[in-house]
Amino acid sequence: MGREIIELRGVGKSFRSADGHARQVLDGIELTLREGEIVALLGASGSGKSTLLRIAAGLIGVDAGSVSYRGQPLHGPARSIGMVFQSFALFPWLTVQQNVELGLEARGMPPVERAAKAEAAIALIGLTGFEGALPRELSGGMRQRVGIARALVTEPDVLLMDEAFSALDVLTGERLREDILELWTSGKLPTKAMIVVSHSIEEAVLMADRVLILGRDPGRIRVQLAVQIPRPRDPDSADVRALVDEVYALMAAGRGRAARAADAAERSPLGRRLPKVDVARMEGLLEFLAEEPFGGHADLPELAEATELSDRELLSAADALNLLGLAQLEHGDLQITPLGQRYVEGTHTLRQEIFGQQLLAHVPLAAHIRHSLEQEPGGQLPEGPFLRLLEEHLDEAEAERVLETVIAWGRHGEVFEYDYNAGTIQLPTGEEDDTAPPPTHP
């Protein structure tokens, strides 16, 4: 094992949202990055992965614990760390060469030396000939190569990549990842260690020597897995598939029973998160699961392949089905429940009925909204108070997402309606008083 480069000890971090509520994003994080290794960081969105990277880079401070770099406490941006972002973060009015030189300029390096170093970095990442191009003249994959060249030009000790391949189409992302790994294994990178944040389980398994899974509320490292598969790794090999499977199971477990138990213990049931997934995707997944070849039972990697959903999309949809009792998520497998089977076989009306009934039974927020509407003479309430209720437990963006999700689900289950213009939630047409005609289904 190489020498330690970055050490995080008992790191905690909270953010205060606009309404003044503090929310702990990271708690008790222990992480050591050593020379010679690539560490991959996986976790649901919002679990604090980017925050953790920024802390490791010294870009933001911590509330608890300590960060050290090569044995020295880190108080401010570490000079020898390069970062690559999902959004590329290039300056549109600067050429490739100028974008890459930026970091060196800030260090006061003379122009001639700067140009030479930038050219070398540009060549390393395969962009020779494009020095004079503007970002908008390049494809997404080439733009990200500029982002990487800019990070590498300062010859950083450590490279931190935050979902660097996520904005690219699959093939382009894979090619760039393979190129980086090739440079890494052949020793052509100046960099001694990397942390890669990813939302692809396969990407993490293919790249890393260690995979960490970040749980959330607050973000803690839930699982650490060593990846001892020799490089270059074949994505189709049995070793890789088995490990991808295992990581899927671990991540799904975190979202299934364990997460619900933790949620129930740590927050009011009303403030519980909901996986952001639309009804059509949930239904689509359930139908896929019910059909051959799965016949009601499948493991998640197989489902991901069959449905062409990303890990994130699949896990959210599986999570939602599990929450609503239409399927069961266990050990990385998804199993349709008898109710889920009835749902799939049902007419549109039966589906709505089942969905509405499960929503009220399993999502306290939906039941609360429904109950509040029933107490109102007009059967109608503004959404604002519900949003503020959620903001007591979740940050603003998350609260909005949860409300949006529960409204979409509630509409599908005919539990309530939503008026976009007025921003009000109301009982479905015909339900506000008993003399009205029964609801009509479109």
CA angle 168, 211, 323 (to 5 degrees): 80
Which C-beta is closer to ligand ADP: that of 47 or that of 191? 47
261 binds ligand ADP (CB under 6 A): no
Cβ atoms of 2 and 158 within 8 Å: the answer is: no
Q: Which of 212, 196, 193, 185 lies closest to 86 in space, CA to CA?
A: 196
User: Least Å distance between CB 162 and Mg ion?
Assistant: 6
Print the binding letters for residues 1-40 with Mg ion: x by CB under 5 A, - otherwise. Answer: ----------------------------------------
Which C-beta is closer to ligand ADP: that of 60 or that of 422? 60
47 binds Mg ion (CB under 5 A): no
49 binds ligand ADP (CB under 6 A): yes
- In whole angstroms, give the CA distance from residue 213 to residue 227: 13
Residue 199: which residues within 8 A CB-CB, separation 6 or more?
Answer: 42, 45, 163, 166, 310, 311, 312
Which C-beta is closer to ligand ADP: that of 24 or that of 328? 24
User: Least Å distance between CB 194 and Mg ion?
Assistant: 16
- In whole angstroms, give the CA distance from residue 209 to residue 224: 11
Q: Which of 50, 97, 316, 352 binds Mg ion (CB under 5 A)?
A: 50
Q: What is the DSSP letter of 209?
A: S
State both tokens at 157: 């000790």
- In whole angstroms, give the CA distance from residue 317 to residue 285: 7
Q: Which of residues 341-400 bind ligand ADP (CB under 6 A)?
A: 395, 397-398
- In whole angstroms, give the CA distance from residue 347 to residue 334: 23
Q: Which of 8, 33, 40, 50 binds ligand ADP (CB under 6 A)?
A: 50
Residue 395 binding partner per list Mg ion, ligand ADP, none, with a CB distance cut-off of 5 to 8 Å that depends on partner kind:
ligand ADP
State which residue has the least CB distance to Mg ion. Answer: 50
Q: Which of 294, 316, 296 lies closest to 305 in space, CA to CA?
A: 294
271 binds ligand ADP (CB under 6 A): no
Q: Which of 342, 373, 371, 368 lies closest to 355 in space, CA to CA?
A: 342
User: Least Å distance between CB 395 and ligand ADP?
Assistant: 5
Give the footprint of Mg ion on this chain (CB under 5 A).
50
Query: Where do contacts with ligand ADP occur on this chain (CB under 6 A)?
Result: 15, 25, 43, 45-51, 395, 397-398
